[in-house]
Each structure stands twice: as C-alpha cells, then as structure tokens.
Amino acid sequence: MADLLDKRREDREDVEIPTASMADIAFLLLIFFLVTTTINVDTGIGMTLPPKLENQDPPPVKDRNMFKVLVNSQGDVLIEGERASMNQIRDRVKEHVLNFGEDPDLAVSPSDAVISIKTDAQTPYRIYIDTLDEVWMAYREIWNSIARSGTLPGPNGEQILQKTFPDYQAYRSTLGPEDDNVIRDNFGANISIAEPDLGE
C-alpha cells in the first residue's frame, strides 16, 4: 500500500500544464468576443433647433394650422386648450395633419401644419420626451403608410416612390448618407418647441 502511494507521488511530479491546446482556447475566445461585442450606437430623437432671430418676430402661423400641446409638470395634457391624455396626442396629430382643408379648425395642408409643444419650467424631461415621442410617432405612422403605398396621402395622392416598403424604417435603411429622403422631403414634420413658462 505504501509503495503504491509513493509511486503516485512520483508520477505527479512529472505533470505539466498541457500547452498544446492554448492556441485553440485563445482562438475560441477571440471568436467569442468578436461575436458578442457590440459597439453601442447612439439612438435618440433628432431635432433641429430654430436659428437665432435678431430682433425679428417668428413667422406668423395661422391659428387653424397650429396644433397646440401643453404639458404641465404633473404630465397633464392640454390639446388646443382642452384636457386630454398623453395617448390621445398621436391620433389627434394625425387627424390635424391629414385634414386637407376639410375641417375649418384643422390644418389647411400637411405642409402648413405646425405642432407646437409647450411645457412648464418644472416639467420633467421624461414627460417632455414622451410628448415629443407621441408627436413623432404620429408622423412616423403617416410615413409608414407612405412607404407601404408609395403614394402621398390625400385626395390627389401623388406617386413618389418607385418601390414599396414594409415600413418607413425599411425605406430609411436603403438610403445612403448622401441620398435624399423622398418621404421626408415631400411630407416634412413641423414641430415647434415653445420656451417653457416660468411657473413662479
């Protein structure tokens, strides 16, 4: 018995770490990290601020073309002076933009329509983004339908796309950085951000 133990101890002294498989392990790890690493892309809601006006009044907008959304610090929403809820914004914006002069209180044409968002000074940013998101989503849904049909909405729907796409995102992804976005050029969004009231 004692012999057996001694023999084992001698065997153990010879043991080395096998290094032959090191290259394989390194290679596997390399592949693993190549596959799992994602470079995070910045996502967000793009806006263009109006340029600074030098002692000049902003261009006048007819009242019927203006769609006013007011949000206070509690997240209560006023649409055109009436109480409403956040999830009504999307449909009301679409109704306003796609009016084509029918209702005398709504926009004359999509390009004349202006969506105005005004917040309180104390409104949390999160609520502002929610509101802005709803307005953008209203436009996004209209763009989706343009991408699907290839024609502009309205009574005389003009054909602007040669091909149709499942949605706006699919159309966007076909564009290169220098290409014109035909949908947005023909059906732009006018969103105005009013300076918040200083609720003293």
* Residues near another protein, by CB under 8 A: 22, 26, 29-30, 33, 41-52, 119-126, 128-130, 132-133, 136-137, 139-140, 177, 193, 195-196, 198
Indicate the residue among 128 and 187 with the shorter CB distance to another protein.
Answer: 128
Structure tokens at 9: 């101890």
Q: Which of 58, 143, 155 is nearest to 109 (CA)?
A: 155
Q: How far is the CB of 129 from another protein (least distance, A)?
A: 4
Q: How far is the CB of 135 from another protein (least distance, A)?
A: 8
Indicate the residue among 1 and 198 with the shorter CB distance to another protein.
Answer: 198
Q: How far is the CB of 130 from another protein (least distance, A)?
A: 7
Indicate the residue among 11 and 200 with the shorter CB distance to another protein.
Answer: 200
Q: How far is the CB of 153 from another protein (least distance, A)?
A: 18
Give all strands of the β-sheet with 66-71 in edge-to-edge order: 82-84, 77-79, 66-71, 114-119, 191-193
Structure tokens at 90: 């999307």
3-state secondary structure of 168: helix
Indicate the residue among 47 and 170 with the shorter CB distance to another protein.
Answer: 47
160 contacts: CB under 8 Å, gap ≥ 6? 146, 150, 151, 152, 182, 183, 186
Q: What does the alpha-carbon distance between residue 117 and residue 119 come to, in Å, rounded to a whole number?
A: 7
Indicate the residue among 6 and 26 with the shorter CB distance to another protein.
Answer: 26
Q: Which of 88, 100, 185 is nearest to 135 (CA)?
A: 88
Q: How far is the CB of 134 from another protein (least distance, A)?
A: 8
Q: What does the alpha-carbon distance between residue 31 and residue 25 come to, in Å, rounded to a whole number?
A: 10
Indicate the residue among 139 and 150 with the shorter CB distance to another protein.
Answer: 139
Q: How far is the CB of 73 from another protein (least distance, A)?
A: 8
Q: 193 forms bridges with which residues in the sheet? A: 117
Residue type, position 112, single letter: D
